[in-house]
Amino acid sequence: ASADMDLNQLEAFLTAQTKKQGGITSDQAAVIAKFWKNHRIKIHESLINQSRWDNVLKNMNWRVDLKSQSRHIDQINTPVAIVEMELGKNGQ
């Protein structure tokens, strides 16, 4: 599941497992393949959600401002980046 195998990779993996001594049977391989085909996306998303920290980035806004007036000439046209990030709990 952590490798996020596509169906061709899964088939090759299961074939190798059936040929291995003490491995799985071809019936077991068929059941695993059917289960993976039906639930691959849910399993992968679950692994991603488990690997995240509590907070996730919900929204981000940014802009760059330039000073057009100042008491000191060397501060004019000095860029200033403003970044606003909205964090939220995972799954909310």
Instruction: Give tens-digit pLDDT for 81-90.
Output: 999 999 887 6
Task: Please indicate, yes or no, whether residues 45 and 60 belong to a single structural domain of this protein.
Answer: no
Task: Please indicate, yes or no, whether residues 63 and 38 belong to a single structural domain of this protein.
Answer: no
DSSP state of 77: T
Task: Please indicate, yes or no, whether residues 24 and 43 belong to a single structural domain of this protein.
Answer: yes
Question: For residue 54, what pLDDT is reported?
Answer: 73
How many C-alpha atoms does 68 have within 13 Å on its Cβ side?
Answer: 2
pLDDT surpassing 80 at residue 92: no
The answer to whether residue 2 sits within a structural domain is no
Query: pLDDT tens digit string along 30-80?
Result: 999 999 999 988 988 888 877 777 777 889 999 998 877 777 777 777 888
Q: Which residue has the tokens 């289960």?
A: 35
For residues 90 and 54, the answer to whether their CB atoms sit within 8 Å is: yes
The answer to whether residue 1 sits within a structural domain is no
Question: How many domains, the chain?
Answer: 2
The answer to whether residue 26 sits within a structural domain is yes
Q: Which residue has the tokens 């046209």?
A: 77
The domain of 83 spans: 56-88
Question: For residue 7, what pLDDT is reported?
Answer: 86
- Nearest Cα residue to 41 out of 13, 86, 6: 6
